[in-house]
Amino acid sequence: MAKIILTGDRPTGRLHLGHFVGSLRRRVELQNSGEFDEIFIMIADAQALTDNADNPEKVRQNIIEVALDYLSVGLDPAKSTLFIQSQVTELCELAFYYMNLVTVQRLQRNPTVKAEIALRGFAEGAAEGDTTQRQGIPVGFFTYPISQASDITAFRATTVPVGEDQEPMIEQTREIVHKFNAVYGETLVEPEILLPENAACMRLPGTDGKAKMSKSLNNCIYLSDTAEEVKKKVMGMYTDPDHLRVEDPGKVEGNTVFTYLDAFSRPEHFSKYLPEYASLDELKAHYRRGGLGDVKVKRLLIAILNEMLKDEYCILEADNGRAALDMVDRYGDELSLVLLDIVMPGISGFEVLAGLSRRSGIDNLPFIMISSEDSDDMVLRAYELGASDYINRPFDSRVVRRRVSNTIRLYAKQRRLTSLLSQQYNERVKNSRMLIDIMAGVMELRNGESGRHVTNIEKLTELLLGCLVQR
């Protein structure tokens, strides 16, 4: 039996550290292990609509966000099949038939369903005007485990790498498989769950110490957060409420900062960032007996997280517009993005854009214009000259950083997809030529002139198409 993985995420927002330790990091490891015949990773937009039906645009916009996060952590479309759930319409059809195999009472007993209903504030019979609860439980959301079973079984997945909180959902899938096979024979494959190896990664708590990191609870550290955002969130993390002074003994159990260190720290981090401690165990022992402050421990976690999430780009600065043109000529494909101001010494940002548009070989290099000029004419002119984005002053540096990062990742994805399409095209051309050669050889055995005629027609057609392309 082929070894197949199926997993995915709902596009309801940016992915966070909970996703990373719960499944993303493991997915990349499994993808690169070579142990599996096929790996399917789904962006579950149809499931996301079950509790976002009033805001479909949110789901639509976040599809690209999730796709970019996938690429940023190392998921490779050449090794894993990334797809959007709603594009495979048969999944919803299969879920409809599976509904006949599951009772309402069984769904009500699913602990994950109960936890998610409470988390989102759904309640039957909520009082009119009660803003703390959402009126009624959507049927689609209630039957979420059935939809998930449809996804897993449709791709005949043998392994599902997920976090600990999804274990009841996989168990429900197994029950559906048993009932279906009992009626229709051995048809569906029973999947196995693959949990994170590190116990601390099974369920990473939020920064507030809550049991789960969740966008709705505003307690997440996102994969795309800047260094300053990470620092701010870690410094506000829940620790031991009884550890009021540095000299007080502290508790490690239930201390969110130490839970994160369990999940992310490695032995080499201590020699690099906190050399007075040989290991995490030594740090914990000092904290337990007192004499170690929370701030020092948090600074270690900040350094570790920022190392893991840091941008891998070097920043080159040009003193004027002409120097910017020279840098593009010099570095070419090594550049990931150019950020331009309209007002620059020497020549303006518009003139730089115009100069770059006349250069060849930089079609895949994005340009972002930044300026205090916000008139429609100025913005339109920037886009007409080839700008990918336009940012107005005054601006929030975090917003600029995010838009720059998104643009770089989007263009990287486009280049990767173009490369894959080019490879597929070249392979088809190669196969077509091989077929023509075989046909020509067969015809030549029958008639010497016919075989040469087929080959000559192929060469003439290729020359004619080349001339048309040049025109």
What pTM, to 2 d.p., does this model score?
0.60
For 119-164, the pLDDT digits (tens) are 777 766 555 555 555 668 889 999 999 999 999 999 999 999 887 7
Determine the pLDDT at residue 257: 94
Question: In this model, does residue 184 exceed pLDDT 80?
Answer: yes
When pLDDT is cut at 50, 70 and 90, the band that residue 319 belongs to is confident
DSSP-assigned letter for residue 200: G
When pLDDT is cut at 50, 70 and 90, the band that residue 78 belongs to is confident
Q: 250: Cβ–Cβ under 8 A, 6 or more apart, which residues?
A: 239, 240, 242, 243, 287, 288, 290, 292, 294
Handedness of CA 74, 78, 81, 82 (dihedral sign): positive
When pLDDT is cut at 50, 70 and 90, the band that residue 169 belongs to is very high
Determine the pLDDT at residue 400: 77
CB 138 within 8 A of CB 53: yes
Is pLDDT larger for residue 29 or for residue 163? Answer: 29
Q: For residue 390, what are the β-bridge partners?
A: 369
Question: What's the rounded Cα separation, in Å, for the pair 305 and 49?
Answer: 32
Question: In this model, does residue 420 exceed pLDDT 90?
Answer: no
Average pLDDT, the chain: 84
Determine the pLDDT at residue 142: 92
Span 439-467, average pLDDT: 62
Kind and range of the H or E run holding 367: strand 367-371
Rounded (10°) angle between helices 144-154 and 111-120: 120
For 210-233, the pLDDT digits (tens) are 767 887 788 999 988 888 899 999
Span 192-205, average pLDDT: 73
Determine the pLDDT at residue 191: 95
Determine the pLDDT at residue 464: 72
Determine the pLDDT at residue 433: 64
When pLDDT is cut at 50, 70 and 90, the band that residue 65 belongs to is confident
Question: What's the rounded Cα separation, in Å, for the pair 349 and 273?
Answer: 42
Question: What's the rounded Cα separation, in Å, for the pair 23 and 194?
Answer: 9
Determine the pLDDT at residue 201: 57
Put the strands of the sheet holding 389-392 in their side by side order: 338-341, 367-371, 389-392
Determine the pLDDT at residue 320: 83
Determine the pLDDT at residue 132: 55
Question: In this model, does residue 373 exceed pLDDT 90?
Answer: no
Type of residue at 315: I
CB 161 within 8 A of CB 5: yes
When pLDDT is cut at 50, 70 and 90, the band that residue 330 belongs to is confident
Token pair of 254, please? 């239930």
Determine the pLDDT at residue 199: 59
Longest alpha-carbon distance in the chain: 97
Question: In this model, does residue 312 exceed pLDDT 80?
Answer: no
Question: What's the rounded Cα separation, in Å, for the pair 471 and 466?
Answer: 9
Q: How would DSSP label each residue in 220-256?
A: --BTT--HHHHHHHHHT----TT--STTS----TT-H
Determine the pLDDT at residue 438: 60
Is pLDDT larger for residue 318 or for residue 284? Answer: 284
Q: % helix / strand / coil in the chain, to the nearest 5?
A: 60, 10, 35
**% pLDDT > 70, the chain:** 83
Is pLDDT larger for residue 317 or for residue 260? Answer: 260
Residue 125 zone, left/alpha/beta (φ > 0; ψ -120 to 50; rest): left
When pLDDT is cut at 50, 70 and 90, the band that residue 295 belongs to is very high
Alpha-carbon separation of residue 58 from 71, 213, 374, 397 (angstroms): 20, 20, 27, 24
CB 200 within 8 A of CB 263: yes
